[in-house]
């Protein structure tokens, strides 16, 4: 078909228009693309450069050196040691199980350790180093290095791990560290990123746990160059972290070790307070344990031995244990009655061996009674009837108020685990917690430290310190942080009448220094160091009327767990008090026979600053005491460790 000239002309014009539209669209697209490229390359250049750098550079955390802990004289009680370990990167290892099997043929790895390492490796990102084994010898590390070509993804490293050179002596005070667990992370609202480092150690108990933030320090960083899949190419630079703060405790290692040795074989606790500053010179709980085992990974057998021991070695009895204070509470009742004017120091109460109230007899420990006794004699001989009578006059509310003034029922703010508040009962407390009204028998029982009353060895030591000084002595455990002295615990005046307080102190002096005193057998022979104290025996079972009729069973005839607790509190020297002491021996029997001799040894060790000389003991006891002191498993203190420079 032949087109006419007109048709050809119109067709040419149509093609031209379409060409112009298409060309314009192409030109617009190219212009937009050029503008976008200019925008990205010029105006957003810095942003894309940053994104590229972040893809090329990784930042990894460097764990900080944990702060060290010293005793009051500079002896290291918690430090860091070099720890050789091997780590594995899953991405580089390939067949992880096969590589672990090769490692196990070179160094000793138990099936449990292999299984634990495998689980940890699979939990982490493929390029994150995971610790396979630590605390290795140099020979083991060398073997791994020699066999490196056959161990893809495995590398030796040197880090720091916690060590407790004094082991059992400070286990309950300092505590121990361990790897961060999922439970630990769940309790922290905003966890520090350093806690995500595999096997990073944090405090689990004691000062290590309570002072974790101070001791941990701040992590450092290192910048490393990685390839597209995250494999490390080289390290570019690093910024060291800030080490944790060094802590100095108030505890004296020599005294602490002596007391731990003296309590050996008992389930017991002892506390020593320096009266000048309120410093806790010793917090000893027996039996103890080796915290290094927890850091290194305690075995099932060792842990089972600790948890199944009836003496409860894992418990810090000095602050966690609460006991009926028994007759050591009688000074509280006496001061409450004296301050309220219900009795005078010279007034006597007749003790026939019991007090009958509401048709019920409340017995004195001495079956035949003490006869007429004054305040001093009541403390000296520990007459129960005297305190039954004066407690009826003053009432439980005034007794409870005095107890709180002397530190009982107070949960002291110390960096220790599970510090107990004890119990100073009142009428309101019984209504709220027992759903019953207070009766006079409750008051009589409380007056001699039985019934609902509970106190820890720490609280009993604080009570004794306040009785000795008339001041609100508050216990202090941290002496300094990085060399900065912490506030004193001496406290202000309690507002007690000095004359009445002196009468109570005199009664305590008679306990240890009068021939009729319950602790006369544990007196101190050195006139410059005479001790004032008070024995206590708290029952853990009810004595029935039938048992009283046939004769109360002796403690030594009962199973251990049914025997009475033995207690003793003391301060010395009497004329110028320097230390206050409390001792609790669980199921030890009588306070005068079980706790008082221990307390005397502790007082003398604290005052002399060394193993007590035999001249401080009565002549007729020296041979026996010499044998006992010589047999103590004492540890020679380590030389003072240099502090870490903060420059």
Nearest 5°: the CA angle 466, 602, 331 is 30
Q: What is the DSSP letter of 218?
A: B
Same domain, residue pair 208 and 348: no
Distance in angstroms (rounded) separating the CA atoms of residues 253 and 247: 15
Q: Could you tell me the residue range of the domain that residue 410 belongs to?
A: 253-306+316-630
Same domain, residue pair 394 and 509: yes
237: alpha, beta or left? (left if phi > 0; alpha if psi -120 to 50)? beta
191 within domain boundaries: yes
Q: Are 383 and 351 in contact (CB under 8 A)?
A: yes
Same domain, residue pair 234 and 267: no
343 within domain boundaries: yes
Same domain, residue pair 572 and 445: yes
Same domain, residue pair 149 and 260: no
204 within domain boundaries: yes
19 within domain boundaries: no
Distance in angstroms (rounded) separating the CA atoms of residues 602 and 524: 12
Nearest to 216 by CA among 205, 240, 200: 200
CA distance to 74, 81, 181, 227, 413, per residue, from 65 (Å): 19, 10, 20, 30, 27
Residue with tokens 């009958």: 356
569 within domain boundaries: yes
pTM, to two decimals:
0.85
Q: Which of 234, 249, 264 is where one domain is finished? A: 249
Residues 161, 267, 288, 327: which is the catalytic one? 327
Nearest to 192 by CA among 227, 215, 218, 169: 218
Same domain, residue pair 474 and 623: yes
CB 497: neighbour CB atoms within 10 A?
12
Same domain, residue pair 469 and 328: yes
pLDDT at 545: 58
Q: Which of 207, 232, 249 is where one domain is finished? A: 249
Same domain, residue pair 328 and 185: no
Q: Hey, is 570 helix, strand or coil?
A: strand
Distance in angstroms (rounded) separating the CA atoms of residues 372 and 355: 13
The series of mean pLDDT values per 10 residues for the chain, 647 residues long, is: 62 67 77 75 62 60 90 95 84 84 87 84 76 84 85 82 94 94 79 77 95 92 65 72 94 97 97 97 98 88 95 97 97 98 97 94 94 98 98 98 97 96 97 96 97 98 98 98 95 96 98 98 97 93 59 75 94 98 96 97 97 97 96 75 46
Residue with tokens 């050029």: 34
Q: How many domains does the chain have?
A: 2
Same domain, residue pair 365 and 231: no
Q: Which of 207, 222, 249 is where one domain is finished? A: 249
- Residue 76's CATH number: 3.90.1310.10
Same domain, residue pair 111 and 146: yes
User: 587: exposed, middle or buried (C-beta count within 10 Å: 0-12, 13-18, 19+)?
Assistant: buried
pLDDT at 365: 93
Same domain, residue pair 209 and 293: no
- Residue 465's CATH number: 3.40.710.10
ω into 573 cis (within 30 of 0): yes
CB 75: neighbour CB atoms within 10 A?
22
2 within domain boundaries: no
Residues in the chain: 647
pLDDT digits (tens, 9 = 90+) for 337-390: 999 999 999 999 999 999 999 889 999 999 999 999 999 999 999 999 999 999
645 given a catalytic annotation: no
Same domain, residue pair 64 and 135: yes
Strands 478-481 and 484-485: what pairing? antiparallel
* 152 CA to centre of own chain: 43
385 within domain boundaries: yes
282 within domain boundaries: yes
Q: Hey, is 129 helix, strand or coil?
A: coil
CA distance to 373, 403, 413, 605, per residue, from 423 (Å): 29, 10, 16, 31
pLDDT at 552: 63
């Amino acid at each position: 078909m032949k087109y006419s000239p007109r048709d050809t002309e119109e067709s040419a014009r149509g093609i031209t228009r379409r060409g112009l539209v298409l060309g314009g669209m192409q030109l617009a697209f190219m212009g937009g693309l050029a503008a976008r490229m200019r925008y990205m390359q010029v105006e957003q250049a810095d942003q894309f450069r940053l994104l590229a750098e972040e893809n090329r550079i990784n930042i990894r955390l460097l764990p900080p050196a944990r702060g060290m802990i010293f005793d009051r004289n500079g002896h290291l009680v918690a430090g860091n040691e070099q720890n050789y370990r091997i780590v594995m990167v899953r991405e580089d290892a390939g067949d992880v199980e096969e590589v672990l099997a090769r490692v196990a043929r070179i160094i000793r790895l138990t099936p449990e350790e292999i299984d634990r390492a495998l689980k940890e490796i699979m939990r982490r990102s493929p390029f994150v180093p995971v610790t396979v084994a630590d605390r290795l010898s140099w020979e083991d590390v060398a073997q791994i290095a020699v066999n490196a070509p056959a161990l893809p993804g495995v590398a030796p490293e040197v880090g720091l791990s916690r060590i407790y050179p004094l082991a059992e002596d400070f286990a309950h005070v300092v505590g121990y560290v361990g790897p961060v667990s999922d439970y630990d992370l769940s309790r922290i609202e905003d966890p520090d990123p350093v806690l995500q480092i595999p096997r990073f150690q944090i405090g689990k108990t004691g000062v290590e746990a309570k002072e974790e933030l101070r001791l941990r320090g701040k992590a450092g960083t290192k910048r490393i160059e990685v390839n597209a899949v995250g494999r490390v190419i080289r390290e570019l630079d690093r910024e060291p972290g800030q080490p944790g703060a060094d802590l100095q405790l108030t505890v004296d290692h020599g005294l602490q070790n002596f007391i731990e040795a003296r309590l050996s074989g008992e389930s017991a606790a002892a506390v020593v307070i320096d009266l000048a500053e309120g410093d806790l010179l010793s917090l000893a709980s027996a039996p103890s344990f080796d915290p290094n085992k927890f850091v290194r990974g305690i075995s099932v057998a060792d842990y089972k031995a600790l948890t199944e021991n009836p003496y409860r070695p894992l418990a810090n009895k000095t602050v966690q244990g609460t006991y009926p204070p028994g007759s050591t509470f009688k000074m509280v009742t006496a001061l409450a009655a004296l301050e309220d004017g219900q009795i005078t120091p010279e007034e006597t109460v007749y003790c026939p061996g019991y007090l009958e109230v509401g048709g019920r007899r409340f017995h004195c420990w001495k079956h035949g009674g003490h006869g007429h006794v004054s305040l001093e004699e009541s403390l000296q001989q520990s007459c129960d009837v005297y305190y039954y009578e004066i407690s009826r006059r003053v009432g439980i509310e005034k007794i409870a108020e005095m107890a709180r003034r002397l530190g009982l029922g107070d949960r002291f703010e110390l960096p220790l685990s599970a510090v107990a508040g004890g119990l100073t009962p009142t009428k309101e407390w019984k209504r709220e917690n027992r759903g019953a009204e207070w009766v006079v028998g409750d008051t009589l029982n409380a007056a001699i430290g039985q019934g609902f009353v509970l106190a820890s060895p720490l609280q009993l030591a604080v009570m004794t310190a306040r009785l000795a000084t008339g001041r609100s002595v508050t216990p202090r455990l941290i002496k300094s942080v990085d060399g900065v002295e912490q506030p004193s615990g001496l406290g202000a005046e309690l507002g007690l009448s000095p004359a009445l307080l002196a009468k109570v102190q005199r009664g305590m002096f008679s306990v240890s220094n009068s021939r009729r005193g319950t602790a006369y057998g544990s007196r101190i022979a050195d006139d410059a160091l005479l001790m004032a104290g008070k024995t206590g025996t708290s029952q853990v079972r009810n004595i029935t009327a039938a048992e009283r009729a046939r004769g109360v069973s002796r403690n030594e005839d009962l199973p251990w767990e049914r025997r009475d607790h033995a207690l003793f509190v003391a301060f010395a020297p009497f004329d110028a008090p320097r230390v206050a002491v409390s001792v609790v021996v669980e199921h030890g029997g009588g306070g005068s026979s079980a706790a008082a001799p221990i307390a005397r040894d502790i007082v003398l060790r604290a005052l002399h600053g060394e193993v007590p000389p035999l001249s401080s003991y009565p002549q007729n006891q020296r041979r026996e005491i010499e044998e006992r002191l010589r047999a103590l498993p004492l540890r020679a203190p380590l030389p003072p460790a240099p502090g870490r420079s903060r420059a």
